Amino acid sequence: MALREMLGETLLSKDGEVQTDSALQGKVVGLYFSAHWCPPCKGFTPVLAEIYNGYKAKGKNFEVVFVSSDRDQGSFDGYYGEMPWLALPFSDRDRKTHLSSKFKVRGIPSLVILDEDGSLITLNGRASVQSDREGEDFPWRPKPIPELLGDEFKGKEGTVGRSVIEGKTLGIYFSAHWCGPCRGFTPTLAKVYNKLKEKGQNNFEVIFVSGDKSDSQFEEYYGEMPWLAIPYGDKRIDQLNQRFEVNGIPHLVILNPDGTVLNASARGKIDADENAENFPWAPEPMEDLGVTAECMGSDINEKPSLVLFMEGVDDLQQDEAWAAGLAVAREFAARGGGDGPALLFFGARGGGRIPPQVRRMTGLPEQEEKISMVVLDIPDSGGYYKSDAEEINEQTVRDFAENYKTLATRQQLSR
């Protein structure tokens, strides 16, 4: 059972240990990341408990598993005593860390909703339950993306229908007037958009999903854009933010013509392609850290990431190291499944602001005439592992990617 593999053989209940399989069989599961020391958690826990008990009274096949970020067993015991559901044993810290990383938990409280087979329904379960206290939309399985997008959009000349996007690759652009980085990225995206039009490629369209705080801000900002938009205040805005798990802006999602996701996080691809030569910006198994911190729909802050620092060697050595890293990256991508690869892959060829920062934080020299291989595990409280391999080739990259926790000592990133 997938949930047993994810959560372990047993869980804690109010009456002691229970078998995971029997406790969760046939149930939608909410993983509740929370802690006693967190004031917002203390506010949300009684709300969730009321909703949970209401669902139970209505016969909903719903269970919650508390995944604790408490600092000691005593704090866990006291806090869990206030909860009516199951819990991951506090002693299973490795599993807690893995779950936090797997589901990109950046802050608490967080409620992740899983289907009965262990597949992800939504990372934003907190919003789902709070907006549906009666459970009318339970279990909140996501609607098909074309249905979420709807049939009408705001165009430069007025309202347009769905026909203007049919058969096209789409960019769903989450942005806002008040956001400095957004105002920097919008002209870049517009340049790429217009370049494609100049080339006669009319099979791409962008839909602006606004985070603006007023209709006037929306109108002013949209006035700078050449594409379509969801009207200000439309309920689709919240639905699309939730569906694409938008945690920060600007954020750009690329959809295939059939409505499936091609690239869940494409901003870096656009930034590096002002001449629109790489349309439609499919994700690569290995990316240049000097260009982007995003890879395969995630970023370096969300998953463990292997980085090959190769700035100080010649082009031939760089090409050979890149080929080695890319070969292993493809292996990880192929077996990644719906959650993407367990490990992201980056190379640093030279340039960009991120590689020098990571060098400093991992204690690597600013310049060196060799290739250094490091795994960053930022979700694990900023851990990293430095390889001592004398030679970088496909086998040494594979060995380190598979076994970095045993081949190297965990160290802590400096600030």
Domain locations in the chain as residue ranges: 2-132, 146-272, 286-412
pLDDT in tens, the chain (415 residues): 589 999 999 999 999 999 999 999 999 999 999 999 999 999 999 999 999 999 999 999 999 999 999 999 999 999 999 999 999 999 999 999 889 988 888 889 999 999 999 999 998 899 899 989 999 989 998 889 999 999 999 999 999 999 999 999 999 999 999 999 999 999 999 999 999 999 998 999 999 999 999 999 999 999 999 999 999 999 999 889 988 988 889 999 999 999 999 998 899 889 989 899 999 999 899 999 998 898 988 889 888 999 999 999 999 999 999 999 999 999 999 988 777 899 999 999 998 999 999 999 999 999 899 999 999 999 888 999 999 999 999 999 999 999 999 999 999 998 7
Q: Is the dihedral of CA 200, 201, 203, 205 positive or negative?
A: negative
For residue 177, which of 135, 219, 148 has the smallest C-alpha distance? Answer: 219
The token duo for 144 is 């098909």
Q: Are 399 and 388 in contact (CB under 8 A)?
A: no
Q: Name 171's bridge partners.
A: 206, 254
Tell which residue, 342, 331, 371, has the closest CA to residue 355: 371
How confident is the model at residue 226, as a pLDDT? 98
Helices (H), ranges, 273-342: 315-334
Q: Same CATH fold, 286-412 and 146-272?
A: yes
Residues shown for the chain: 415
Hey, what amino acid is at 338? G
Write the CB contacts of 363 (distance below 8 Å, at least 6 apart in sequence): 386, 411, 414
Decide: 298 and 371 in contact? Cβ < 8 Å. Answer: no
Q: Which fold has domain 2-132?
A: Glutaredoxin (3.40.30)
Give CA–CA dist 310/227, Å, rounded: 40
For residue 138, report the phi and psi dihedrals to the nearest 5 degrees. -55, 135
Residues 6+ apart with CB under 8 A from 201: 276, 279
Task: Please give the CATH number for the structural domain made up of 146-272.
Answer: 3.40.30.10
User: Taking the domain 286-412, which CATH number applies?
Assistant: 3.40.30.10
Q: Which residues have C-beta within 8 Å of that of residue 305, sequence separation ≥ 6? A: 295, 343, 344, 345, 346, 375, 376, 377, 378
pLDDT, residue 1, reads: 59
Q: At what angle do helices 394-407 and 315-334 cross, to 10 degrees?
A: 60
The pLDDT, as a whole number, for residue 88 is 98
